[in-house]
Structure 1
Amino acid sequence: METAHDEPSGAAAAPPWWRDAVFYQVYVRSFADSDGDGVGDLEGIRSRLGYLELLGVDALWLTPFFTSPMADHGYDVADPRDVDPLFGDLAAFDRLVAEAHEHGIRVTIDLVPNHTSDQHPWFAAALRGGPERARYHFRPGRGAGGELPPNNWTSVFGGPAWTRSPDGEWYLHLFAPQQPDLNWDDSDVRADLVRTLRFWLDRGVDGFRVDVAHGMAKAPGLPDLDPAVVPVLTGAHAHPVEDPRFDNDEVHDIHRMIRQVVDRYADTVTVGEIWVQTDERFARYVRPDELHLGFNFKLALTAFDADSVRRAIDNSLAAVAATGAPPTWTLSNHDVERHVTRYGGGETGTRRARAMALVQLALPGVVFLYNGEELGLPNVDLPDWALQDPIHEHTGGRERGRDGCRVPMPWEGGGPTFGFSTGDRSWLPMPSDWASFTVESQLEDPGSVLSLYRHALEVRKTVEAFDGEELEWYGAPPGCFAFRRKGGGLICALNTSDAPVPLPPGEVLLASGPVTSSDLPPETAVWLV
Structure 2
Amino acid sequence: MNKTWWKESVVYQIYPRSFSDSNGDGIGDINGIIEKLDYLKELGINVIWLSPVYQSPNDDNGYDISDYQKIMDEFGTMEDWERLLAEMHKRGLKLIMDLVVNHSSDEHAWFKESRKSKDNPYRDYYIWRPGKNGAEPNNWESVFSGSAWEYDEATEEYYLHVFSKKQPDLNWENPKLREEVYRMMKFWLDKGIDGFRMDVINFISKVPGLPDAENPHNQRYAWGGDYFMDGPRIHEFMNEMNQNVLSQYDVMTVGEMPGVTTEEAALYTDGERRELNMVFQFEHVDLDTGPGGKWDLKPLELKDLKATFTKWQKGLEGKGWNSLYLNNHDQPRMVSRFGNDKEYRVESAKMLATFLHMMQGTPYVYQGEEIGMTNVRFETIEEYEDIETLNMYREKVMDGGEDLAQVMNSVYVKGRDNARTPIQWDDSENAGFTEGNPWLKVNPNYKEINAKQAMEDPESIFHFYRRLIQLRKENEIIVYGNYDLLLEEHPHIYAYSRTLGGEKLLVMLNFSDERPVFEMPEEMEFSDHELMISNYEVHAEESIQTVELKPYEARVYRLK
Whether these two folds match at TM > 0.5 is: yes
Q: What is the identity, as a one-letter code, of the residue corresponding to 1:257? A: E
| Contact 1:242–1:277 (Cα < 8 Å) also in 2 | no
d(CA) in 1 for partners of 2:209, 2:182? 26
Report SS of the residue matched to 2:309: helix
The reply to whether residue 91 of structure 1 matches residue 75 of structure 2 is no
In the TM superposition, 1:407-446 aligns within 5 A as 407-415=421-429, 417-421=430-434, 423-446=435-458
Identify the range of structure 1 (482-491 vs 93-102) with the bigger mean alpha-carbon deviation: 482-491
Over 3 Å counting, the alpha-carbon distance change for 1:483 and 1:158 in structure 2 is same
> Over aligned residue pairs, what C-alpha RMSD do you find?
2.3
Q: 1:275 aligns with which of 228, 245, 258?
A: 258
Matched, 1:54 2:50: no
For each residue in 1:64-113, what CA deviation from the matched residue of structure 2 results, as whole angstroms up to 9, or x when unmatched? 00011101110000111111111111111111111111111110000001
Give the match for residue 290 of structure 1: 275
Whole-Å Cα distance in 2 between the matches of residues 431 and 328 of structure 1? 28
Q: Displacement of 1:350 after TM fit?
A: 4.5
The answer to whether 1:468 aligns with 2:483 is no
CA separation of 1:50/1:277 partners in 2, compared to 1, >3 Å: closer, same or farther?
closer
Give yes or no for the alignment of 1:43 onto 2:38.
Answer: no
| CA distance, structure 2, for counterparts of residue 477 and residue 121 of structure 1 | 56
Alignment partner of 1:489: what SS?
Answer: strand
Distance in 1, Cα, partners of 2:454 & 2:192: 33
Q: Which of the residues 89, 95, 103 maps onto 1:115?
A: 103
- For the residues of structure 1 that align with 2:175 and 2:536, how far apart are their CA atoms? 56
Q: How far 1:521 moved relative to its partner? A: 1.9
Shift in alpha-carbon separation, 1:393–1:270, aligned structure 2, 3 A? same
Please show how residues 107-146 of structure 1 align to structure 2 within 5 Å. 107-129=95-117, 130-143=120-133
SS in 1 for 2:12: strand
Which residue of structure 2 lines up, in the alignment, with residue 4 of structure 1? none
* SS at structure 2 position matched to 1:509: strand
Distance 1:178 1:241 in 2: 19
1:524 aligns with 2:548: no
- 2:92 and 2:84 mapped to 1: Cα distance? 12
Q: Percent identity?
A: 33
Work out which of the residue numbers 414, 417, 433 in structure 2 matches 1:403: 417
Residue 115 (structure 1) shift: 0.5
Q: Which amino acid in 1 is paired with 2:504?
A: G
Aligned residue in 2 for 1:72: 60
Equivalent of 1:174, from 157, 162, 180? 162
Unmatched tracts of structure 1, length 5 or more? 1-12
Instruction: Return the alpha-carbon distance in structure 2 between the equivalents of residues 261 and 41 of structure 1.
Output: 32
Which deviates the most, 477-486 or 311-320?
477-486
* Conservation of the 8 A alpha-carbon contact between 2:314 and 2:483: no
Q: Is the 8 A contact 1:68 1:76 kept in 2?
A: yes
Give the corresponding residue for 1:311. Answer: 307
* Counterpart secondary structure, 1:189: helix
| 1:326 aligned onto 2:324 | no
Q: What is the Cα deviation at residue 470 of structure 1?
A: 0.8
Q: Which residue of 2 aligns with 1:192?
A: 180
- Alignment counterpart, residue 214 of structure 1, candidates 179, 197, 202: 202
Moved more, 351-360 or 461-470: 461-470
TM-score scaled by structure 1?
A: 0.90
User: What runs of 5+ residues in structure 2 fail to find an aligned partner?
Assistant: 289-299, 397-406, 521-527
CA contact (8 A) 1:239 1:277 kept: no
Q: What is the Cα deviation at residue 359 of structure 1?
A: 1.2
In structure 2, do the counterparts of structure 1 residues 282 and 467 end up closer, same or farther at CA, with 3 Å as the change threshold? closer
State the distance in 1 between where 2:257 and 2:325 align.
13
1:499 paired to 2:507: no
Report Cα offsets for 1:221-243 as digits up to 9, x if no partner: 000011x324x66xxx8259961
Q: Aligned pairs, how many?
A: 506
Classify 1:105/1:240 alpha carbon distance in 2 versus 1 (closer, same or farther; 3 Å): farther
Query: Residue type of the partner of 2:551?
Result: P
Using the TM superposition, name which of 72-81 and 439-448 deviates more.
439-448
The 8 Å contact of residues 505 and 556 in structure 2, kept in 1 or not, is answered as yes
Question: Residue 161 in 1 paired to residue 148 in 2?
Answer: yes
Distance in 2 (CA, whole Å) between partners of 1:107 and 1:196 is: 17
- Out of 530, 536, 541, the position equivalent to 1:513 is 536
> Does the 8 Å CA contact 2:97/2:197 hold for their aligned counterparts?
yes
Q: Residues 279 and 52 (structure 1 numbering): CA distance in 2 closer, same or farther, change over 3 Å?
A: same
Aligned partners of 1:296 and 1:438: how far apart in 2? 30
Q: Per-residue deviation at 1:351? A: 3.0
Q: Which SS does the other structure have where 1:340 is aligned?
A: helix
SS in 2 for 1:80: strand
Question: Which amino acid in the other structure matches residue 419 of structure 1?
Answer: G
